[in-house]
């Protein structure tokens, strides 16, 4: 168990996003005060703010890290209709190592607020996808990874609905065509699907919509593909008024060809949970794609996992300083039992609070 002091630097406004780097030892946060902060985990297991700067002229919605193979790079997007790429520059002034974050490029093609931004999986090179409130997904690429000042627009996808979030399929296999899931929180459409799946066709060099999840018609605030380490299907976590887990199983190639598409999917809803009893804002997978974390307006982070019968259940609930662990489901798929501190049951995991990310008096970040 590790005990850490409170972070010694704070945002002055609502925090919108938190992102960890590949190794989980660095953290970036962005907020409504137009700033981004970088936090490093020191040897005492304390999060120390090592950089803070103003990035945009409006609220910063999202921040994301590139794979460390390309260096220490983050990207941000904002209400000011722009996205930006930042690179860390480290120098030794004789009094110690000093790092600064330099703006390498600004992406100004959007005419509306840029609502989400994600780097592509490493296998696809240094690519960056953005989505906007205008319903357009744009994909950029750095032709030379040693020159981050140049980012060329490669593709533009018109989703025809206000976009709120995007996610790349992080499969490491070249046998899987690149996939992007797009979520919408468009308030002007009360019916119709709010999640769309796009696949890149190597033959036509275009992104084609191959599926839409008709079962999800509520506004979508976040979604995330699970890392695929050998599964024959894809897992997608979705944050809407509740938590949803969807499986996308590719249809046989000959069947897909008969439909005139590059690929199609058999879509099945593996789980739907309203345990938060409030709006769910974020979902995130662990490195193996076996545990899904969700956070909502109830102030809780809940962890979800499937048993060998592919039945998804909540295995832990975190409420600031308290954690409720849940026992594994029995072999018959029966209900799980929540375990308190006085219980004699066996916990599946233990989670400890390392440090807060904001002052308790501040508003909850989404």
Calpha distance 179→208 (Å, rounded): 10
> What domains lie within the chain, and their CATH numbers?
15-290 (2.130.10.10)
SS3 13: coil
Token output for 202: 């190597």
Which 8-state DSSP code applies to residue 172?
A: -
Is residue 332 predicted with pLDDT exceeding 90? no
Structure tokens at 274: 């309203």
Name the 3-class secondary structure at 323: strand
Name the residue with tokens 């440090």.
355
Q: Where does the pLDDT of residue 11 fall: very low under 50, low under 70, confident under 90, or very high at 90 and above? A: low
User: Percent helix, strand, coil in the chain (nearest 5)?
Assistant: 5, 45, 50
Q: In the structure encoding, which two tokens stand for residue 196, read together?
A: 């769309």
How far apart are the C-alpha atoms of 40 and 21, rounded to whole Å?
10
Whether the per-residue pLDDT at 112 is higher than 80: the answer is yes
- Give tens-digit pLDDT for 142-153: 999 999 999 999
Q: CB–CB of 199/263 below 8 Å?
A: yes
**Residue range 173-210, pLDDT digits in tens:** 777 789 999 999 998 877 789 999 999 988 889 999 99
| Residue 232 in this model has a pLDDT that exceeds 90 | no
CA angle 186, 228, 60 (to 5 degrees): 40
**What single-letter DSSP state applies at residue 7?**
P
Alpha-helix residue ranges (DSSP H) falling in the chain: 253-258
Q: pLDDT for 256-281, tens place per residue?
A: 444 444 568 899 999 999 999 999 99
pTM recorded for the entire structure? 0.83
- Kindly give the pairing relationship between strand 195-201 and strand 179-184: antiparallel
């Amino acid at each position: 168990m590790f005990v850490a002091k409170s972070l010694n630097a704070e945002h002055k406004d609502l925090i919108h996003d938190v992102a960890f780097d590949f190794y989980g030892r660095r953290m970036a946060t962005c907020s409504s005060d137009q700033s981004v902060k970088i936090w490093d985990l020191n040897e005492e297991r304390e999060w120390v703010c090592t950089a803070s700067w103003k990035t945009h002229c409006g609220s910063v919605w999202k921040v994301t890290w590139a794979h460390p193979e390309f260096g220490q790079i983050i990207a941000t997007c904002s209400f000011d209709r722009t996205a930006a790429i930042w690179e860390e520059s480290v120098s030794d002034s004789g009094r110690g190592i000093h790092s600064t974050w330099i703006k390498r490029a600004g992406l100004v093609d959007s005419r509306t607020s840029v609502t989400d931004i994600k780097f592509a999986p490493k296998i696809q090179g240094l690519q960056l996808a953005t989505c906007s409130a205008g319903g357009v997904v744009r994909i950029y690429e750095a032709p030379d990874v040693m020159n981050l000042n140049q980012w060329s627009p490669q593709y533009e996808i018109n989703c025809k609905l206000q976009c709120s979030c995007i996610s790349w399929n992080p499969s490491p296999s070249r046998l899987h065509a690149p996939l992007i899931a797009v979520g919408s929180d468009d308030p002007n459409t009360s019916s119709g699907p709010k999640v769309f799946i796009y696949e890149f066709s190597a033959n036509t060099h275009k992104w084609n919509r191959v599926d839409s999840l008709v079962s999800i018609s509520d506004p979508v605030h976040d979604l995330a593909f699970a890392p695929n380490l050998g599964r024959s299907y894809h897992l997608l976590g979705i944050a809407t008024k509740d938590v949803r887990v969807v499986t996308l199983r590719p249809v046989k190639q000959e069947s897909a060809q008969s439909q005139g598409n590059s690929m199609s999917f058999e879509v099945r809803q593996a789980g739907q949970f309203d345990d938060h009893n409030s709006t769910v804002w974020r979902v995130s997978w662990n490195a193996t794609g076996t545990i899904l974390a969700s956070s909502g307006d109830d102030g809780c982070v809940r962890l979800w996992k499937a048993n060998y019968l592919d039945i998804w259940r909540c295995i832990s609930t975190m409420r600031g300083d308290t954690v409720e662990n849940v026992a594994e489901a029995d072999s018959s798929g029966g209900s799980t039992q929540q375990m308190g501190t006085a219980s004699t049951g066996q916990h599946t995991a233990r989670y400890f609070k390392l440090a807060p990310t904001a002052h308790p008096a501040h508003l909850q970040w989404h």
